[in-house]
């Protein structure tokens, strides 16, 4: 670290401009400031990273050792009795594989259907002229202020009354209640006002002359959507995918209420198995690590896109 600090970085314009003899030069001041900045940034980095280091390191230790290491710096070091035993034990205790599959299925469902449905709506709202579209757009934006938590309770009541249609012995039959299904975890979250808003914004920056040219060539509106707009809107699709992926994977309150059957539970609710039993902390840490690693990997591989997506969500707000 100190090596990079002492190596002379290029002067700033200001440093070159002012150099009063006898006083510490601008250059020295700038370097001092840089050192303090690095110190502050490193201290903050430790603050943000230490719990996660503790999590991953502890997941490799037996529960007893986690406790005894808590008193010293050993808590952050993979020392002592290191093994993957906790991970193996977690698989014995809870159906982790099933939970991970459920979460993956639900997340992919929400993201993919969401991209399709919301981009179609964004297309209709940004490029087609129809009565009431201004009003619809205003209403959609207005819904953004309403947190999901305010409608969660009535929503449970509502989905518990919704009909299911299915075939039994070749005849169409129905019953009521969406509780304990995959669809109750996916369908309510497909349409997303914020995604529609982002698509609408992005699509309206694409010149309309492209549509007109395509129409002269005889293309229908759906063809224009598919062949002209979608290929030009990669960044918008990436942003929406990222912004819907995280909350979908992290869902907790909703599945807690609507999914009691173990086979259908997502990973976050699966964490509850460890609240009830007298916790074997090594296993808790291993489970927590397992459900965090997929997201961390996705984030670290696409960190630039992630961060610019979040930034995009703020600029227009």
Partner 1 sequence: MAGRRRLRNRQGAVGLAMASPALILLLLFFVVPVLLGFALAFTNARLVSPNPPRFVGLDNFIRAFTADPVFFDSLRNTAVFAIVVVPVQSGLALLLAVLVNQRLKGSTLFRVVYFIPVVTSIVVVSILWKFMYRDDGLINSMIDTVTFGAWNGTDWLNNQSTALPAIIVLSIWQAVGFHMVIWLSGLQTIPEELYEAARVDGASPWRQFTQVTWPGLRPTMIFILITITIDALRLFVQIDVMTQGGPINATSTLVYHAVRKGFREQEVGYGAALSLIFFVMVLAIAALQRWLTRNKD
Residues 63-102 that bind partner 1 (CB under 8 A): 67, 70-72, 75
Which stretch, 9-17, 81-89, 201-209, 231-239, contacts partner 1 (CB under 8 A)? 9-17
Taking residue 176's Cβ as centre, other Cβ atoms within 10 Å add up to 10
When asked if residue 54 is in the footprint of partner 1 (CB under 8 A), the reply is yes
33-38 long-range Cβ contacts below 8 angstroms, 24+ apart? 34/5, 34/9, 35/5, 38/1, 38/5
- Interface of this chain with partner 1, residues 230 to 289, rule: CB under 8 A: 246, 249-250, 252-253, 256-257, 268, 271, 274-275, 281, 284-285, 288
Give the range of 81-89, 129-137, 201-209, 230-238 binding partner 1 by CB under 8 A: 129-137
CA 314 to chain centre: 15
Q: Which is nearer to partner 1, 6 or 169 (CB)?
A: 6
CA distance 122 to 203: 7
Give Dmax (Cα) for the chain: 96
- Nearer to partner 1 by Cβ, of 83 and 272: the residue is 272
Least distance CB 53 / partner 1 (angstroms): 11
| 81/158 with CB nearer partner 1 | 158
Is the Cα dihedral 22, 27, 28, 29 positive or negative? positive
Report the nearest approach of partner 1 to the CB of residue 171 (Å): 26
Whether the Cβ atoms of residue 200 and residue 126 lie closer than 8 Å to each other = yes
Q: How many residues does the chain have?
A: 317
* Nearest CB to partner 1, comparing residues 94 and 193: 193
Of 171 and 300, which CB lies nearer to partner 1 in the complex structure? Answer: 300
Residues 155-184 that bind partner 1 (CB under 8 A): 155-158, 160
Nearer CB in complex with partner 1: 170/231: 231
Taking CB under 8 A as the binding criterion, the range among 77-85, 86-94, 151-159, 168-176 that sits at the site for partner 1 is 151-159
Q: CA 249, CA 264: separation in Å to the nearest integer?
A: 14
Tokens for 301?
A: 């591989």
Give yes or no for a contact between 265 and 255, defined as CB atoms under 8 angstroms apart: yes
Residue 37 in contact with partner 1, rule: CB under 8 A: yes
Size of the site for partner 1 (CB under 8 A): 95
Q: Which of 90, 111, 115, 124 binds partner 1 (CB under 8 A)?
A: 124
Choose, by CB under 8 A, the member of 86, 107, 118, 244 that binds partner 1: 118
- Among 14, 77, 88, 173, the residue binding partner 1 under the rule CB under 8 A is 14
151 is a site residue for partner 1 (CB under 8 A) = yes
């Amino acid at each position: 670290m100190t090596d990079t600090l002492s190596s002379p970085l290029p002067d700033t314009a200001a440093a070159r401009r002012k150099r009063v003899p006898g006083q510490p030069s601008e250059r020295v001041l700038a370097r001092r400031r840089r050192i303090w900045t690095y110190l502050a940034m490193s201290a903050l980095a430790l603050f943000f990273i230490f719990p996660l280091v503790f999590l991953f390191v502890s997941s490799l230790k037996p529960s007893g050792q986690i406790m005894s290491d808590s008193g010293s710096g050993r808590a952050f070091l993979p020392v002592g009795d290191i093994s993957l035993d906790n991970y193996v034990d977690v698989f014995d205790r809870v159906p982790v594989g099933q939970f991970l599959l459920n979460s993956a299925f639900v997340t992919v469902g929400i993201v993919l259907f969401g991209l399709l449905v919301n981009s179609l709506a964004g297309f209709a709202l940004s490029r087609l002229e129809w009565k009431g579209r201004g009003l619809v757009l205003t209403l959609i934006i207005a819904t953004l202020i309403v947190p999901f938590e305010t409608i969660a309770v009535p929503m449970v009541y509502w989905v518990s009354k919704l009909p299911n249609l299915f075939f039994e012995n070749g005849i169409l039959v129905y019953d009521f209640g969406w509780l304990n299904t995959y669809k109750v975890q996916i369908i309510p979250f497909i349409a997303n006002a914020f995604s529609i808003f982002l698509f609408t914004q992005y699509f309206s920056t694409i010149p309309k002359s492209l549509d007109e040219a395509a129409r002269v060539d005889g293309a229908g509106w759906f063809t224009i959507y598919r062949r002209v707009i979608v290929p030009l809107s990669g960044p918008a699709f990436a942003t929406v995918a990222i912004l819907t992926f995280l909350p979908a994977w992290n869902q907790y309150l909703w599945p807690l209420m609507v999914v009691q059957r173990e086979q259908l539970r997502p990973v976050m609710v699966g964490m509850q198995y460890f609240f009830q039993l007298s916790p074997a902390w090594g296993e808790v840490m291993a489970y927590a690590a397992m459900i965090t690693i997929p997201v961390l990997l996705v984030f670290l591989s696409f960190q630039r896109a992630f961060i610019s997506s979040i930034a995009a969500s703020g600029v227009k707000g």
